[in-house]
Structure 1
Amino acid sequence: MNVVTLDRPWLEFTFGTDQKILSWAINRPGFVTANRILWREVRNTDLPPELDVTDWIASELGCRGALDAVTFLTSRNITAFDQEIVTVGDCTAHAVVTAGLSNAERIGTRRDFSRVNWGTINIAVHTSIGLADHAMVEATSIISQARTAAVIEAGFDLPTGIATGTGTDCIAIACPQGDTAYAGLHTEVGHAIGAATYAAMKRTVTEWKDSVMKTFEG
């Protein structure tokens, strides 16, 4: 049974048993086996320019006894996370999302963020159906589509066009051992992954945008 636990500055998504995980997270990227995914909330003061971030997060995880965990970094208030569970046929997908667009980008362009705060979108999705490695790669494309659809629909205008994501987005897909070969939009697992990710993304991006507008108005 999946459990999401908030212990600020940490958010933990645990699976009960070891799962296959694919990500490009700062800790344990690539194909690994783990029973949890963590988010660590950070502020600019946590990460001065001279800091080796890899060593720092390893130290933080060591103090928590969590060096085994796939781990994201986020500057978003970790309490603003959202989650969605969707079942389609025999597959259940559970998405957990944090989202901030302070370093939003339009695909195919690049802005200078050297003197501004950094945000990010971090998405972890667990499926009840075991996927082959190549299907896990395909699943990340479905998560990416859902993220981008939600960001575009939020209508966050940049000098370069409507934002499609941020410069530091990260995705993780987790599942039990298995050999399901496909996870595209025509499959039950792809349907569930897309629906869960989109719903959680839609709420988190809307909440972030509303909070930014209130700050400007205040």
Structure 2
Amino acid sequence: MADQDFYYKEYATLREELLNLKNCQVTFLTFSVTATALLLGLIAKPGTFSSGLLSLSPLLLLLPSWWIFLDKATTITRIVGYFRILEKMILEQYKAGWFSGWENALTRFRQLQSEGELKLPDHLREKRKVGYLLKLAILRTTHPYWVITWYTFFGLSVLCLALSLHSLKGAGRELLLVAIIMVGLSAIYNAHVVLRLIYGRNSYTANEHFWKVILQIQEVDDQEG
């Protein structure tokens, strides 16, 4: 009974943390969209040197917010994978060979991850990345929210680049080139992150598998009850 009480308390605590993470994601997304619209709207005279450079200023918000948003998504999938295990432990369908609470388990997770000890089974490996990317591109996924968010950040970033390219006349083109490279690298990296969140080692299913290994989970035979 003591174990069950602990499971319930931890479940409630992590549920609140999960809600906070999702609210944080919404905040980053809405703030980025609103701030970008305001900054671009304040640029009064397109075609001047200053307006061309100012068109790049929203990228100072967009790119970090894009990275942080997906980092929060990675944390969310890790918690949800743990939730799936914890729920079945509460229902007494699973029993753990090793259980010391979320913080200790997370420390163990990161340690094994850094040592390369968390291996995906073959059926969870990303074998057809091109096919998966095509599915993401046309939103043929059970998690379109992450893909739509990627499109949102990417679209706003490209808009800033396009406005700057239209306004700059010679001077400042070096800065624009740097911005284009940064947006391009961010788009590629974050597309890879989204791919792993949905189909790869950061997915809900993959994290559930990792937690089973870490917690040494065994299924409880119905006849044992």
Do both share a fold (TM > 0.5)?
A: no
TM-score by length of 2: 0.25
Q: Relative contact order (C-alpha < 8 Å, sep 6+): which is higher?
A: 2
TM-score by length of 1: 0.26
Larger radius of gyration between Structure 1 and Structure 2: 2
Higher strand share: 1
Higher helix share: 2
